Structure 1
Amino acid sequence: MLLIARDKTKPLERLKWAKNGLKLLDKAVAAAPNDSRIRYLRGRSAYRLPEKHFQRTQTVIEDYNFVLNQEVKLGSIDYTRLSYELGEAYRRIGRNEDAARCWTKLEQQTQDPEFKRLLGQKLQLLKGKPAVEHIESNESITSMLLKRTASAAGTVFLDWVEENKKKEERRERKRRKKEKKRKRH
């Protein structure tokens, strides 16, 4: 479902498919919370989703930590990718010290000069920042849609009230005209 969501062009369809896919992954983790493969799959899927719309970074952190701590047979590339992405997930939500810890450990372990340079740049960006900083939470897409729907409904309602008010005023003028006409005759 998440792969189908990725290929949808309409945002609401994409959102629907993604949410259904996440629900299935959440149910799978609830049914088998110690299954590293399911946790890996859910974490990798949630990592790719924008935090401002889905608020799933904490899920990524939990799943990645679970997998990394299970001594599962991960290839060195997967271990490195998960550790790097775990640092990114921490950074996304303002947990700078945790991000720095992930990236420092990787920097010490890697022999790849390009990757070492990237990690150095990431760590440099965190210098001087507090261990934990408040990141403004962005509204979820559902919340934004609800607000827009409520606003649109409110506008329609106000237009309706205004139109009925005008109709009532016209009726009142007609009634007064008729009343004046009767009094004259």
Structure 2
Amino acid sequence: MLLIARDKTKPLEKLKWSKNGLKLLDKAVAAAPEDSLIRLLRGKAVFKLPEKHFRRTQTVIEDYTFLIDQEMRQEGTLEPEKYSQVVYDLGEAYHRIGRNKDAEMCWKRLENQTQDPEMQQLLSTNLQSLEGKPEIEDNKTESLSSMLVGAALAIGNAFSRWVEKEKKKEKAALRRKRRKNKKSRR
């Protein structure tokens, strides 16, 4: 559903498919909270969603922290490349919500572990970008345009639900009318 959402062009359709896909992933994690594959799938899917519209970065943090803890307890649960990507993305998630100290810890940890020169360069650049920033930044202030987009999405969702209810009412009325006509013909 999330892949379908990615390819939709209409924002409300994108949102509808995304929310349905997220519900399924959340149910899968609730049913099997210790399953690292499900956590990895949900974490990767949610990581790509914009925080300002979905507010799911905390989910990424929970899933990736679980995966890293599991790898530390039982080495080999993740391939080295996937593990590095999870640690890097966890740092990005922390940075996204203004938890600079936590992002720095992730990236420094990875910088000490990786031998990949491209990754080391990227980490060095990211760490430099954090210099002089507070440990925690308040990223909760939204621009007027992002608030308007959020309001438009909420209104669009409410309107879509209303339209669906009206369609169901019309269908039910049409079925009743057909049944009534059948009875009157007998």
TM over 0.5: yes
Alignment of 1:92 onto 2:100: no
Secondary structure (helix, strand or coil) at the match of 1:125 reads: helix
Alignment of 1:145 onto 2:153: yes
Distance 2:38 2:141 in 1: 27
Distance verdict in 2 for CA 1:108–1:145, change over 3 Å: same
Secondary structure (helix, strand or coil) at the match of 1:9 reads: coil
Distance 1:86 1:149 in 2: 31
Match of 2:39 in 1: 39
Distance verdict in 2 for CA 1:18–1:137, change over 3 Å: farther
Match of 1:81 in 2: 85
- The CA deviation string for residues 47-100 of structure 1, in whole angstroms up to 9 with x for no partner, is 011111111100000000001111261111100000000000000000000000
Distance 1:135 1:58 in 2: 14
Q: CA deviation at 1:136?
A: 2.6
Distance 2:141 2:79 in 1: 34
Distance verdict in 2 for CA 1:17–1:62, change over 3 Å: same
Distance 1:137 1:111 in 2: 38
Q: CA deviation at 1:142?
A: 4.9
Match of 2:8 in 1: 8
Q: CA deviation at 1:17?
A: 0.2
Comparing 1-10 and 132-141, the one that deviates more? 132-141
Match of 1:176 in 2: none
Comparing 94-103 and 68-77, the one that deviates more? 68-77
Secondary structure (helix, strand or coil) at the match of 1:70 reads: helix
TM-score normalised to structure 1 length: 0.75
Distance verdict in 2 for CA 1:131–1:75, change over 3 Å: same
Match of 1:53 in 2: 53
Tell me the amino acid that sits aligned with residue 89 of structure 1.
A
- Contact 1:54/1:140 (<8 A) preserved: no
Tell me the amino acid that sits aligned with residue 153 of structure 2.
L
Secondary structure (helix, strand or coil) at the match of 1:6 reads: helix
- Contact 2:12/2:156 (<8 A) preserved: no
| Identity %, equivalent residues | 61
Comparing 108-117 and 5-14, the one that deviates more? 108-117
Gaps of 5+ in 2: 159-186
Q: CA deviation at 1:113?
A: 1.8
Distance 2:11 2:5 in 1: 9
How many residues matched?
150
Q: CA deviation at 1:36?
A: 1.2
Task: Spell out the pairing of 1:125-136 with structure 2 (5 A cutoff).
Answer: 125-136=129-140
